[in-house]
Chains A and B, each alone.
Chain A
């Protein structure tokens, strides 16, 4: 009896520790059972390509959330990145590298504005980035005059739709950015301090560290990543559109949270965030395969977020008791 109980406790602990992994695993099993089309190479890479944009902005979002901030502007910034990259290519006729560089630079600038308001002006991250969200969406509309800008750059378009070793380029880019963020959080001073600031900003400040600099930096990085996601969108669709990325900031936040990060900051990893992105993408994918209409899809997605985070609640509550 006692042994059984102990075993159950151990299994439960294991489940709590790897709850994000378990949820993903369960979803994969369920998906492959209910749809024979799921486990095809085509579908898997399609799925990965679909989530690559969300995946990249989620990495920026993770950094921001680790400092106990939030960045609501990334969806709009994605549109800015998309529109500007197309604008510079098509209308300004700049070369590809220059166009992409400038698009990223512009989003980094807007991210820096959020960062400045939050870290040097003491504005609440929610408010500052909410303002930037509407400003940048507006900028995307102004620059594109409200309509999509069509591109005809073959290199960029093939980047969006071609494969390297059978893996789509955008997926490779997402993996690359994931690895960079993972390394930053794991091995660098910057990563350590980002987490430390989210855990206890005052203690970090009193250790003689310029907290504002790090808080500023995460918003700038988040902006740059949003631009990259915007460029992917342009590459995939062949147009720079001011409409893309609406509501994507919420998907990114959801992915980070499903990955076990705390909105209070200090807790979260790049790997689990990536799992969160995959979980969200998978839910959409399988429902599309089963032809579930869009509206119920949203309800089910929300329920799964609740479910995933409830388990984390159990986890922290459980740990606190000991």
Chain B
């Protein structure tokens, strides 16, 4: 039998009494794409950090190419050819693509960078994985997908033989996922071993040769994804069956409470739609197509150039989020950690950020009122936390997102905008978020949901607008809401082309 590229045998790790990994055995062959799935907190990241040398294991052994190794720091991991690409990309935005790729080993002669050689090497590397990005472009100007490609090239410049991708597609649009998969297949042919961490089982089924499922720090199954089947993998992940990914919502939609007419900002134009009370209105489209920019214009972050926004038939002129909030609009932004919550502050402090006025008197916070208010919301939203005085940083992604949502529950909202509400959170938490969205719509709110996941738009929304390159390509009614129609509009193929 061929020697495994990576062999982790009976690896265990605990953090202050909490057993994060129990006797995990995980093997990857050369040129294999190995998926690693599991809910948040199942131990995927811990296992990978041990492999890359960011954490040290308590027990067990690691073999690389059949030889026992001790990987006690990231430098050691890198020398063995192990590279992690984290969910949060580590691109330096102000320098060029080529500089980013060769950041730690810039080709230099007597300390002076050899630009032509640098650019040439970068171009060769990018092309070798079947891509074409100008190495002289400033990296910050690239789309997220292209930044990810740069990140992969950076890993390859270290002669990466083992590439770990942590949720690589969480920020990608469907067409970009295809690009990434093409790159991964090219790498596979070059005998690079790829460990692919993802929440998206469709992707695992499509790209992975084998899959290992983790649950609560233990391996619950390993096999070939297509043979195991999606339902079986979900069972292994959560130990129960999810029959209804998208819980039903039986809400009579009411009157129209929100309307946008010919909105134009410096990022989007020609956006018009309405939202009714109790309706979940989706905004679909590729990353960078202007979805978030619509949200920012409504919420008063980006200035509106022309066009009118109505809330309950009153024209709105929001110049700041403060005004938007005072009129009854809430927003859960797409970047949870940077914009949605304050990581260093407690659950309590985060939840009441929007309602400080109502829980204070003469500027003093009423401690008991605040506590009971937060306690209620923590229970209602089933936020898993030791107490309300724990920093949000200690919570899992799904629970952080619930805190970002909880902020708006105590306010007098009429409309809530949810930008990628389930990005990077596990299946179980997703369903809970969906239930909360339904709960909000039941209360008569208008909900605008922006999402890159088409199945989510189809499963959750009553209607959806699709964006293409900063313009609204069309609105799809419930009956027309399917992947084919969304993709066609998102790709810019006009429905009426044939007819005219």
Contact = CB atoms under 8 A, between A and B. Distances in A.
Interface in A169-197: 187-190, 192-193, 195-196
Given A203-B340, A203-B341, A209 B363 contact: no
Interface stretch (B165-173, B321-329, B482-490): B321-329
Contacts of B344: 199-200, 266-267
7 contacts: A196-B342, A199-B344, A203-B353, A206-B299, A207-B354, A322-B15, A322-B16
A192 B321 contact: no
Interface stretch (B111-119, B232-240, B331-339, B464-472): B331-339
A322 B342 CA distance: 19
Interface in A193-228: 193, 195-196, 199-200, 202-210
Interface of B: 15-16, 299, 301, 320-322, 324-326, 331, 333, 338-345, 349, 353-354, 356-357, 360, 363-365, 367, 407
Nearest to B367: A187
B363 A190 contact: yes
Is chain B's binding surface mostly helix, strand, loop or mixed?
mixed
B349 A192 contact: yes
Contacts, number: 75
Nearest to B408: A207
A189 B339 contact: no
Is chain A's binding surface mostly helix, strand, loop or mixed?
helix
B345 A196 contact: yes
A268 to B, nearest CB: 12
Nearest to A197: B342
A209 B344 CA distance: 18
Given A208-B322, A209-B322, A322-B15, A189 B365 contact: yes
B360 A189 contact: yes
A199 B391 CA distance: 12
Nearest to A188: B363
B50 to A, nearest CB: 14
A188 B353 contact: no
Given A207-B325, A208-B321, A208-B324, A195 B333 contact: no
Contacts of B365: 187-189, 192
A200 B365 CA distance: 20
Contacts of A199: 342-345
B371 to A, nearest CB: 14
A193 B321 contact: no
B342 A206 contact: no
A195 B356 CA distance: 14
B36 to A, nearest CB: 23
Given A189-B360, A203-B338, A208-B321, 12 more contacts: A187-B364, A187-B365, A189-B363, A199-B344, A204-B342, A204-B353, A206-B331, A206-B333, A206-B339, A207-B325, A209-B353, A322-B16
